[in-house]
Amino acid sequence: MKKFLTIISTFLLYSLSIYSQDAGFDFDYAQFAYDSTSNYVEIYYVFDQGKLTQINKEGENLVEATLSIQITDSTTSDTLVNNQWLIRHPVESTEVVSQSLVGVVSFILPKGTLKCVVSGTDLNNQSNFRTITEFIRVKPLINSSVAISDIQLASKMIQGSENKNSIFYKNTFEVIPIPNLVFGGNQPALFFYSEIYNIKDPALKSDTLKLNEIIFNSRGKIVREKNKMITRNNDTRVEVGSFIISQLPTDTYTLAISLIDTANDIGVTSSKKFFVYNPDVKETDSVYIQAKPVLSSTFGTMSEEELDDIFDKSKYIATSQEIDKYKKLSGSEGKREFLFNFWNGRDQDPSTKENEYFYDYLQRVESANTRFSSMQKAGWKTDRGRVFIIYGEPSEIERYPNQIESRPYEIWYYNEIEGGVYFVFADISGFSEYILVHSTKRGELRDDNWGRRIIIAR
């Protein structure tokens, strides 16, 4: 069944002068807490007015564009959002400095890895367009554990505001996004907004928590750093701040915000990548602190127990050498580093912000637990769960649950693997735990006489 979850869709334009990329269109997004099953997701977009075709309608100079957004569940292919907006803006001058037309649309989206396809098109020259595909992992922020929202970067100082009619109004602040995430030149300062939830999490032991805000470059050098202590008097908190970056050389940077309980050395981290274009600033060889990228990754704040659980579920795609290496590790730091490198090396599209393969793998684990669990085993530990996690959804399944002369069995067909392979699972024990009895896939169990194993003796 197709779902359409566009609960909120706010639209307005805000014009400001910022550095624009050649494409003329870009977008960014940030997630904030909504409820225990979904997040509130804001999508920020920008059109470069100077790259849109000017027309004259009834004596008024205009630019027009369309914004299209399609969001689907990457596992089920259900359509969650499929919408289009018309952007029309008057051209008030012919100055060389072009305006950037910035707006926001908002949705409430469910848990999962979602494929988001966003397109910006010049309405009066439809050959002038850009389409961007991004995978958004929605993990509900409302739960019992402390959490930090996505970081929203802003183009102007974030100040208190009473203008609740502004589409950029949020928690008594006006936060004007910078969707192309480019700083330097006309944007010498970086401003950011985030929200912290579940600060009264009973797992935290300290009365005050340490809040770290750091910026590191593409080589892991920490180039800016701030920290402070915050109390746990309130369960939620808004955090706004800024960094002067006018002296940073051209590079890709990451802003990471970490909340740490120093009493038991646990915490959470949220991070955001951005780009600085400062061609006149030269790189120096000054002393620096090395920031490990793992700190801003999914594994940065996992406990040792959580890390072990993740690796157990990852063994299906690990080599024997990797399994042996992990067994020799002790302590969470080394295990975090190992898992970070393990999954980074399997990232099939490093150009995207998220490692879609990792999140898709974890989603298959969750699906396996839902579909294949028995009284004896969690779904991911079963033979059907293992095959599903490694190879994905079969092209076709033949089920034989109620045969007179044989035990229940299933045949899974994968038409796209090795020219077509199949797996046979049978409930040999009679306790609804289907085990693999035969497969034509290279490297899997093969028993051409599998039929004998499922015959019921009379």
pLDDT bucket at 83, cuts 50 / 70 / 90: very high
pLDDT at 23 (0 to 100): 42
Burial class (CB in 10 A: 0-12, 13-18, 19+), 256: buried
| Identity of residue 366 | E
DSSP string, 158-201: -EE---TTSTTEETTEE--B-TT-EEBTTB-EEEEEEEEE-TT-
Separation CA 29–CA 45 (nearest Å): 9
Question: What pLDDT digit, counting tens, does each position of 116-167 carry?
Answer: 999 999 999 988 999 999 989 898 998 878 899 999 999 999 989 889 999 9
Per-residue model confidence as pLDDT tens digits over 176-203? 999 999 999 889 999 999 999 999 988 8
11 contact partners, CB below 8 Å, separation of at least 6: 85, 103, 104, 105, 167
How far separated are the first and last CA of the chain, in Å rounded? 45
Token digits of residue 337? 């580093």
Q: 369: buried, middle or exposed (CB in 10 Å: 19+, 13-18, 0-12)?
A: middle
The 8-class DSSP code of residue 380 comes to G
Per-position DSSP letters for 89-143, written without gaps between them: EE-----SS--EEEEEEEEEEESEEEEEEEEEEETT-TTSEEEEEEEEEE----S
Question: Is-contact 183 245, C-beta < 8 A?
Answer: yes
For the whole model, what pTM was predicted? 0.64
* Beta carbons within 8 Å of 176's beta carbon, 6+ residues apart: 14, 16, 102, 154, 155, 156, 168
Domain with CATH 2.60.40.3880 in the chain: 1-142
Domain 1-142, CATH = 2.60.40.3880
Residue 9 confidence (pLDDT) above 80: no
Q: Per residue in 352-407, pLDDT tens?
A: 666 778 878 888 898 898 899 887 789 999 999 999 999 999 999 999 988 888 89
**Cβ 131 vs Cβ 111: under 8 Å:** no
pLDDT score at 21: 39
Supply the DSSP string of 421-438, one letter for each residue.
EEEEEE-SSSSS--EEEE
Write down the residue that tokens 């002393």 correspond to.
Answer: 287
Residues forming CATH 2.60.40.2550 domain(s) in the chain: 144-296
144-296: what fold? Immunoglobulin-like (2.60.40)
Token couple for 130: 């850009």
